[in-house]
Amino acid sequence: MVATEPCPVCGSVDAHPVVSRRGFSYVRCSHCRAVYVSPMPLAEEVARIYQDLPYFAGNTEIGYGDYAAMHKALAPHFRRRLRRLAQVFPKRGRLLDVGCADGFFLELARADGWEVAGVEISEPIAEETARRLGVPVVTSIEKLPEGAVYDAVTLWEVVEHFREPVAELRRLAQRLRPEGVLMLSTPNAGHWQAVRAPELWTAYRPPAHLVLFTADSLHLALEKAGLREIHIWRTAPLPPLPAFLRRATMPLERSLADGSARPWMLARALWLAVRLLGWAWQRLTRPQEDIFATLEAMAWRPG
Q: Contact positions toward Zn ion, by CB under 5 A?
A: 7, 9-10, 12, 29, 31-32, 34
> Which residue's CB is nearer to Zn ion, number 5 or number 179?
5
> Which residue's CB is nearer to Zn ion, number 9 or number 274?
9
Return the H-helix or E-strand segment holding 172: helix 165-173
Least separation, in Å, of the C-beta of 5 and Zn ion? 11
> Which residue's CB is nearer to Zn ion, number 29 or number 49?
29
Least separation, in Å, of the C-beta of 184 and Zn ion? 18
> Which residue's CB is nearer to Zn ion, number 39 or number 76?
39
Least separation, in Å, of the C-beta of 61 and Zn ion? 28
Q: Which residues does 190 contact at the CB level (< 8 Å), separation at least 6?
A: 33, 214, 215, 290
Least separation, in Å, of the C-beta of 144 and Zn ion? 29
* Whole-angstrom distance, CA of residue 198 vs CA of residue 254: 17
Of 61, 14, 55, 59, give the one whose Cα is nearest residue 33.
14
> Which residue's CB is nearer to Zn ion, number 34 or number 256?
34
Task: Check: CB of residue 301 under 8 Å from CB of residue 180.
Answer: yes
User: 184-217 as b/e, with b when 16 or more CB fall inside 10 Å?
Assistant: bbbbbbbbbbbbeebeebebbbbbbbbbbbbbeb
> Which residue's CB is nearer to Zn ion, number 10 or number 96?
10
Task: Check: CB of residue 277 under 8 Å from CB of residue 283.
Answer: no
Of 89, 130, 78, give the one whose Cα is nearest residue 113.
89
Of 147, 156, 150, give the one whose Cα is nearest residue 115.
150
* Whole-angstrom distance, CA of residue 139 vs CA of residue 259: 27
> Which residue's CB is nearer to Zn ion, number 154 or number 217?
217
Distances (CA, A) of 71 to 24, 111, 299, 303: 30, 16, 26, 35
Least separation, in Å, of the C-beta of 228 and Zn ion? 21
